[in-house]
Amino acid sequence: MNKIFIKHLITKPDKYILVWTYIFSRLDEENSAVIFLVELSAKYNVPKSTLKRIVSYGASVYGSNMDFKWVSNHLYVNILNNDNDLLVVRKRTKNEPKMTPKRTPAKINTLYAKMIKDYDAFCEDKTGVGCKIDGVQGKSMKRIIKFLETQCQKKDTKLIGIELEEKVLLAWRYILSNWEKLDDFNRGRIKLTEIDSSMLNILSKLKEKPINKKQKQRHEQISKAIDSAESTDYSGLGSGT
């Protein structure tokens, strides 16, 4: 972290520097991070409202060099340039209106973040609310990514890097966009833990040839006729009684 940034944080309560130290420790090689709200809240025993205030303050100090946004229950952070000077934050006067700086949308660079974003839209479409991601659900998403990577590389062993990520993302979007093709049982299981545990079954169902309503009714009629024939007692036939 920049020294000027730290000087601003140490003027605030200890939780400010603890939270921001953790955020910076989670940045990847592209200076981006996706952090669960409950993860931060539980780690430092900070209420959600206070946590958002800490993040907003730090981002205002960092100025235009940082993009951040809250999506459902997780925080997206992207540091645009670590070397530029930081902004000096001054206190508002009592009568001065509060100004909220406009921010460009945070860049979502990682495959994990992109898949979470698609899943969030999927949940909102199915339930009317965004997804709820905690440590358990996050681990399931990572397992789903690993599984899809393995399946994609089985079809093309040369797939690596960005090309592999693109194939995995396309596979994930195919699954979510064709969810209505699943049977009633699987269609109602939309948690990441449930999707992860049923992935083979889900893919199998999506590959099945669709059966229209008339064909389904005909199949049920034939099955009932067979069951009825098998349960009928034919022992009295031909006895003349």
Of 153 and 213, the structure prediction assigns the larger pLDDT to 153
Provide the pLDDT for residue 36: 81
Provide the pLDDT for residue 82: 46
The top-scoring range by mean pLDDT among 115-129, 203-217, 221-235 is: 115-129
Least confident of 58-72, 131-145, 161-175: 58-72
Q: By C-alpha distance, which of 55, 15, 57, 11 is closest to 33?
A: 55
What's the fold here for domain 3-79?
A: Arc Repressor Mutant, subunit A (1.10.10)
Q: Is the pLDDT of residue 161 over 60?
A: yes
Q: Is the pLDDT of residue 238 over 80?
A: no
Q: Is the pLDDT of residue 104 over 50?
A: no
Q: Is the pLDDT of residue 106 over 50?
A: no
Q: Going by C-beta distance under 8 Å and a sequence separation of 6 or more, which residues neighbour residue 86?
A: 2, 4, 5, 8, 61, 62, 63, 65
Q: Is the pLDDT of residue 198 over 60?
A: yes
Angle formed by the axes of helices 37-44 and 48-62, nearest 10°: 100
Provide the pLDDT for residue 86: 41
Across the range 173-180, mean pLDDT stands at 92
Boundaries of every domain in the chain: 3-79, 111-207
Mean pLDDT of the chain: 77
Across the range 214-241, mean pLDDT stands at 59
Of 221 and 146, the structure prediction assigns the larger pLDDT to 146
Residue 238 Rama label (left phi>0; alpha psi -120 to 50; beta): left
| pLDDT, tens only, 62-99 | 766 777 788 777 788 887 654 444 444 444 555 555 54
CB-CB contact of 70 with 52 (8 Å): yes
Across the range 96-116, mean pLDDT stands at 62
| pLDDT, tens only, 54-63 | 888 888 877 6
| 57: amino acid identity, one letter | Y
| 94: amino acid identity, one letter | K
